[in-house]
Amino acid sequence: MKKVVVIIFLFVAAFGFSQQDSTLVYKKRVLDQTEVDFLISYYAQDGDNAAVTGGIGTEELTDITPTIVISVPLNEDDVLTVDAGISSYTSASSSNLNPFDKTGASNGGEGHDDDRLAPGDVTGSPWVASSGASRQDVWASGTVDYSHSSDDRNLIWNANVSFATEFDYSSIGFGG
């Protein structure tokens, strides 16, 4: 009989301690673990007889953009994300333009054949210096984003800052 009482006592004691605390509420994390994403895009076009060059030449373009995105959970509600990428492109469009060609609709040269220019038809252009060559270039960008989710997960507050640079310009941005 003594063994039965001890077994019942141990069973009741174990059952009593196995209950969960009702004051703790489960809260799902916004992001469980650090995520690292490697992305790449590739774009190519042939574009023979491109309109930008007056039907002469090519509008060939190639763009390769590798990007890395790292998202780090700071706690149950906050996530820090860093996004960095580089875009390397080659383009024949700007470098193939003929700034000394005075034909075209804007210059009254409608119907003029670009293949048969007389020596006197070629003049200078005020846009030569500003057209810039885009034969090949590299664009780099980076963004840092902080996100905070509300306890009920119905609202997300965020702030971000970004930076981009190319051979002839740089830019910064911020938002939320």
Residue 104, pLDDT score? 47
Q: Which residues contact 54 (CB under 8 A, 6 or more apart)?
A: 98, 101, 103, 104, 114
Residue (of 69, 63, 22) closest to 45 by Cα position: 63
Token digits of residue 66: 């590798």
CA torsion sign, 133 to 134 to 137 to 143? positive
What are the distances in angstroms from CA 41 to CA 8, 16, 87, 170?
67, 59, 9, 22
What is the predicted pLDDT for the residue at 5? 76
Overall pTM surpassing 0.75 (yes/no)? no
Element (H or E) spanning 174, and its range? Answer: strand 169-175
In the numeric block, which tokens belong to residue 84?
């960095």
pLDDT in tens, the chain (176 residues): 778 777 887 777 776 666 666 666 777 888 999 999 999 999 987 766 555 555 665 667 788 999 999 999 999 999 999 999 999 888 765 454 444 444 444 455 555 555 555 555 555 444 444 344 456 788 999 999 999 999 888 999 999 999 999 888 899 999 98
